Structure 1
Amino acid sequence: MPTLEIDNLSKSYGSLRALDSMSFSVASGEIFGFVGSNGAGKSTTMRIALGVLAADSGEVRWDGAPLDVAARRAVGYMPEERGLYPKMKVGEQLVYLARLHGLSPKAATAAMELWTERLGVAARRDSDVQSLSLGNQQRVQLAAALVHDPEILVLDEPFSGLDPVAVDVMSGVLREKADQGAPVVFSSHQLELVEHLCDRVGIVRAGRMVASGTVDELRSNAAPRWLVDAPDAPAGWASAIPGVTHVQTTGSRTVVEVGRAQGAEQAVLQAALATGTVREFAPQRASLTDLFRDVVSAEPAAGDTPDTTSTTKKSKRSFLSKGSAA
């Protein structure tokens, strides 16, 4: 089965290390969610895969061979920044881009008509891109990535600016492409969407892949969480319980994170019962948002440096090296 491999990519800008042995793989038919704080190295990795940037070391391979200029013709790439000609009409632009990938005029026109219809912008084929709403520009950008029927999809924040209906349409398209055998890689800050859509997820910190796997696999490495509904409990009642490492309270409901020592959850239950009535005591499944927050809320590890290719919306929080490297 053909696989897209990102193998030990490193990239530095002077003394700043943007990528540090970044490695992961995406199999044919798989959707891989690439998540991390702004500036963590996601866009840099994608740009190197597409040949927009050159790596200092490492290699990108498809089906065991280097992803060279010829092989990149089979990639559908959607950059985070708009990569369209703003004063060119939507239909003309998509046909032009399809022709650049080797389609005949007839095939390019048919592909343009297919994808503008699928993505809900068929009525805007004769409109300049700059006249479209941001959401419709995003739809056209995705059409540009799909119009040549790529074997691989690499998408940087494809859901940004989309309404819920458009998100559903785009999610369906990505799943359809994966079902047809394409490996699909996309980055997103919409973690609930990533959790729902992706087969596997990779969490990036400061240019390194620090955790990867299915959400269930990532969840298995997380500390156990328990929900306690104790309406009579005073504020802060759970903070002093031995073994409790995290407390989040909303009204009478408290979620605690406990260590893995045997009986740790029973200590929480006994402390709750000591305050009065306990209406609920149940284990909680950590969401991808919870898992991500556990990583990014920690102090930077020694030697971590930000991705210098992104200067907007730099996160004030870095990643904690948790989980297994990809």
Structure 2
Amino acid sequence: MSELEDAVGARDGGRTGRAFTAVMNAVQSAPDAALVLAGPRLAALLPAFPPTGPRPMLAMAAGFCVERGADPVACAAPLLDGVHRDLRDALEFARRWRATGGGDLPEPDEKIIDEALRARIGGDEQAAMRLALAWATVQEWQPPALAVLCRSAEVRRRHAPALLPTCHELAALERHDLKCLAYALAVLEESLIVLHRPTGTGFEVRIGGIGDNFQLHTLLAHVLIGGGHVPGTAPSAESVRLATDPEPAQGRTEIIATGAFDLLTTDGAPIWNEGLPDDIPVVEGRRVLVLDTPAYQRSWNGDRFFPHLPGSAELIRTLAADETRAWYARTSPSR
């Protein structure tokens, strides 16, 4: 590590390459105690690492250290700044590609990078190479990004607002699979207004760490039905455990969760289980979710989307009658 830090600081390409190879090999067999110390040092090298070097591999090594116990907060800023830089560079690659002839954007693969491609991108050769590499390798930043995002709500709070729009913009070009990164950046840590239409009741529920609406559905049923606040069949203890257990499941399970509600917006539009809590619209400053009688039976595998991110849902309060009526007045009539 010291040799790599010195080589990068000296901008010595040969030394950096040799030290980088040695560190990558050492990381594979180092004890966890060493990786806990190495993670922040590896992440700290990213801003100064050669921009056309294997930066995603360095990020992967830092992410691996986080998975083995290194502090995600200490590693997050340089790592996620690197993610953001490559997302922006990939978007600039696409802009220049379209500005110099149009046509379909190329597949993200380093094999496409040649002299003709760099000439088409324009600018100095190093900048063109940096943009092309970002286009080709930006997906490789997902595992280390997930390592820090899935292990710290503070990391998500600090970095998601800036990263998520850029991630969505690049994903919209339909050349990169950034679903996991987008889902992790969109994880909510906030309270919802939840209206249960069949009983005319309302609740404030705080959620956190929930990767998709399958997990949200299970935990709302656990809190509201399992807690005796609304009628219905509560989810099984095993499906709740899978949604909330700090320890990730070892491989895919056969646990089945069963739907208890239809999830709706205040205007009656469906909020799909395949979506995210972030899909719940904001109404007068609060996210408002309407629960209705399910139109048909739903069931799904109970495993959570992010194995290393335990979800939570906590009933904060039952809304008073007048407050409940005020929120229902903002909804469309029942179907």
TM-score, normalised via structure 2 length: 0.27
Higher helix share: 2
TM-score, normalised via structure 1 length: 0.27
Higher strand share: 1
